[in-house]
A and B are shown apart, each in its own frame.
Chain A
Amino acid sequence: MKKNKKLLIRILVAFAVFLVGIVLYKLTPLKSFGEVAEKWSFGDYRFYLFILPFLAAYLIVGYDVILKAGRNLLSGRLLDENFLMVVATFGAIALLDLPEACGVMLFYQVGELFQRYAVGKSRRSIAALMDIRPDIARVLRDGKEVVISPEEVEIGDVLILRAGERVPVDSVVLEGKGSFDTSSLTGESLPRDVRAGEEVLSGSINIWGEVKLRACKKYDDSTVRKILDLVQNAAAKKAKAENFITKFARYYTPVVVIAALLIGVIPPIFLKDWGGWIKKALTFLVVSCPCALVISVPLSFFGGIGGASKRGILVKGGGALERLAKANVFVFDKTGTITKGSFSVVDVFPAERAKEILTAAAIAEGASNHPIARSVVEFAPAVERDGYEVEEIAGRGVKAVKKGGVILVGNAAFLKEQGIPFEEAQNPFTTLYVAENGAYLGRVMVSDVPKENAAEVIRGLKAEGCRTIMLTGDREATAKAVAAEVGVDECVADLLPQDKAAWVETLLSKETKDGAVCFVGDGINDAPVLAMADVGVSMGGIGSDAAIEASDVVLMQDDLASIKEGRRIAKKTMRIVRENVVVALGIKVGVMLLTALGLMGAFAMWLAVFADVGVAMLAIINAMRTLR
């Protein structure tokens, strides 16, 4: 920040010299500065005595602006801020209104300084939010601890992580216990206790304890790198509002400059008072600077994206944020999004034989990795499985055989094929039928249950006037049961992955321009739908690259509430963007009107400077609210 300090010193020195000039001038009995020239001619030393302090102050504070303006003149860029300021102040000098020229330049530079300071500060606070990059990795090499950069870590390296350090690459805990703060990744504020065998994500911080880790991924493939890439490239995808404002600024400045020329030339032909009208024209030139407008919009979006990422919501650009704010149709995938994506046993029938049924089922399913099988084993009491030969029959079930015993567990079709008489159940759950030694024992009903807050989130969205739809590949009965439980407006079942894409496409073609369709999925198998929707939201963190590529918003936490939170941030950001545009334009237009009508009085040019840099400052401060 050396440059800012230099400017500050120049401003202070120039201000002191400026005050000297004012004091000298006040010692005279003159009513206006113009009389200085009338009273003393160019040959008189007293004329220079009054002029010099102002000229000196003007040059001290504004020489760099003049230099830049000169260079712009040479390259034909006449609508640059520096050039406009120089023309305006030179004009005031030519009218021999030196205190005004000097004061305006001073005020302009003070504004620039504040603006730079504010931008720098907001840049740092946004950057701090995204500061999840690990700096070092401690690796055990030949039994010795070596400090290397995270990029140099190889898969399989043993890492040491002390309290307060960041995990350099995605790893598994080998030994030790620790408590990990993942808030900068997921927004989850509660630390997570981690022990041997568990995975830890790069970028999370070990709060206490020392752990040994084994690196599972290279730095470039690790979570932290993917998040950084995503957030840093976010600004590349600009919002419509951003493009609009840069385009608007391109026309705004020339139009105001032309207006200034007209005001400086046409009215004085009829009304005389050349000096007065030229001064009004110069004021217009100061107001024509576009910076306040141009800076306010992207900074707001950037702040919104930063604020969202702090809460574990990664938004890919202003455009995505803009569409999320507009979204009024929310389409959810069922499994893994509305529901937990893991099965649990909801019922065993008949209940009085539950223990017997579950024991048999657990013996048969014990070796399987299928999610349904795992849920049964977890629910059942611990069983002795030795001696059983297990055979899996795809799409049917399992058969476990031991000398003197056969257990069959599977769907209705399976038991029918095996010729076992049983009663088929009528319910929305996935049902496993269990038979032992040729006799039907009973059935186990498993279901994928909705997430705890699913109903609450859906209710919240509906309360805000959004339409909610659930898509699933499951059977109608299963889907209906979940839909009723969480309260979505519509539910479409029996869809293949490609059907989902087609369904969303039809929905998109029917939607009006004012709204947007948001698709929320877990990123597994639904990348095409994520890409197609106006806003594709993938849940549950940095999963597959395809899902990240295809989605506009990635939720680091597997929590539906993040959608509402993301929508709230998006709406707030858009509100701030609108406020900034309206206020900046309003003040500028207001100053122009007042100037043209001659209502601004002696402070016209000063107020015009405020309309430029002051408004930029206001916009920056307002934009920073997006971070909160």
Chain B
Amino acid sequence: MKRVYELTDLCCAACAAEIERDINKVSGVASCNVNFIMQKMTVEYEEGANYGSVLKAVTKTVRRVEPDCDVVEVK
């Protein structure tokens, strides 16, 4: 399952790279890609992962790096 999120107020390219690296380590996440320029994050979840709890962990990871950053799903 693949989801795209908008990361509002993502203001540093190095942070974007760090977010990407850290989210790739979150269990339940198959792969993550952060596009700093478009402020978009694509997360591919592992088969059978609990979407809700993984998303929570993902959001937490984002906040840890960029406290003011909101994670909004793009449809």
**Interfacial residues, chain A to chain B (CB-CB below 8 A):** 3, 68, 71, 75, 77, 80-81, 112, 116, 119, 122-123, 126-127, 232-233, 235-236, 246, 249, 289-291, 294-295, 298-299, 302
Contacts and interface: CB of A to CB of B under 8 A. Distances in A.
A127 B35 CA distance: 13
A16 B11 CA distance: 26
Contacts of A112: 11
B36 A295 contact: yes
Nearest to B36: A298
Given A71-B67, A236-B42, A302 B37 contact: yes
Contact of B33 (A77, A235, A299): A235
A81 B11 CA distance: 11
Interface in B28-52: 33, 35-40, 42
Given A68-B67, A236-B42, A81 B35 contact: no
Interface in B1-55: 9, 11-17, 21, 33, 35-40, 42
Contact of A298 (B9, B37, B64): B37
Given A71-B67, A236-B42, A122 B14 contact: no
A603 B67 CA distance: 32
Nearest to A252: B14
Contacts of A295: 13-14, 36
A302 B68 CA distance: 25
Given A3-B9, A71-B67, A236-B42, A249 B37 contact: no
B65 interface: yes
B14 A294 contact: yes
B37 A236 contact: no
Q: Is the interface of B mostly helix, strand, loop or mixed?
A: mixed
Given A3-B9, A236-B33, A295-B13, 11 more contacts: A81-B15, A116-B11, A126-B37, A232-B40, A235-B38, A249-B14, A289-B14, A290-B14, A298-B36, A299-B13, A299-B36
Contact of A122 (B11, B33, B37, B39): B37
Contacts of A246: 14, 17, 21
Contact of B37 (A81, A123, A289): A123
Contacts of B65: 77
Contact of B17 (A80, A126, A235, A294): A294
B75 to A, nearest CB: 10
Given A122-B37, A236-B42, A298 B13 contact: yes
Interface of B: 9, 11-17, 21, 33, 35-40, 42, 64-65, 67-68
Contacts of B11: 112, 116
Contacts of A80: 15
B9 A75 contact: no
Nearest to B66: A68
Contacts of A119: 37
Contacts of B67: 68, 71
Contacts of A116: 11
A291 B12 contact: yes
Nearest to A302: B37
Contact of B64 (A75, A123, A126, A289): A75
A516 B58 CA distance: 38
Contacts of B40: 232
B42 A123 contact: no
A154 to B, nearest CB: 20
A81 B38 contact: no
A291 B37 contact: no
A294 B11 CA distance: 12
Nearest to B40: A232
A81 B39 contact: no
Contact of B13 (A77, A233, A236, A291): A291
B21 to A, nearest CB: 8
B22 to A, nearest CB: 10
Contacts of A290: 14
Nearest to A233: B42
5 contacts: A112-B11, A122-B37, A249-B14, A291-B12, A302-B37
Contacts of A289: 14
B36 to A, nearest CB: 6
Contacts of B33: 235-236
Contact of B12 (A81, A126, A232): A81
A127 B38 CA distance: 8
Q: 7 nearest interchain CB pairs?
A: A295-B13, A294-B13, A246-B17, A294-B14, A235-B35, A236-B33, A290-B14
A71 B69 CA distance: 13
Nearest to A81: B12
B9 A123 contact: no
B8 to A, nearest CB: 10
Contacts of B36: 295, 298-299
Contacts of A75: 64
B42 to A, nearest CB: 6
Contacts of B17: 246, 249, 294
Nearest to A297: B13
A68 B69 CA distance: 12
B68 to A, nearest CB: 8
A246 B25 CA distance: 17
A249 B12 CA distance: 13
A235 B20 CA distance: 13
Contacts of B21: 246
A299 B12 CA distance: 12
B13 to A, nearest CB: 4
Contacts of B15: 80-81
B14 A123 contact: no
A289 B39 CA distance: 21
B16, B17, B38, B68 — which one has the most chain A CB atoms within 10 A of its CB?
B17
A240 to B, nearest CB: 15
A110 to B, nearest CB: 15
B14, B17, B39 — which one has the most chain A CB atoms within 10 A of its CB?
B14
A123 B13 contact: no
Nearest to B67: A71
A302 B13 CA distance: 13
B10 to A, nearest CB: 10
Given A71-B67, A77-B65, A235-B33, A291 B14 contact: yes
A126 B12 CA distance: 19
A291 B36 CA distance: 12
Nearest to B17: A246
Nearest to A64: B68
Contacts of A249: 14, 17
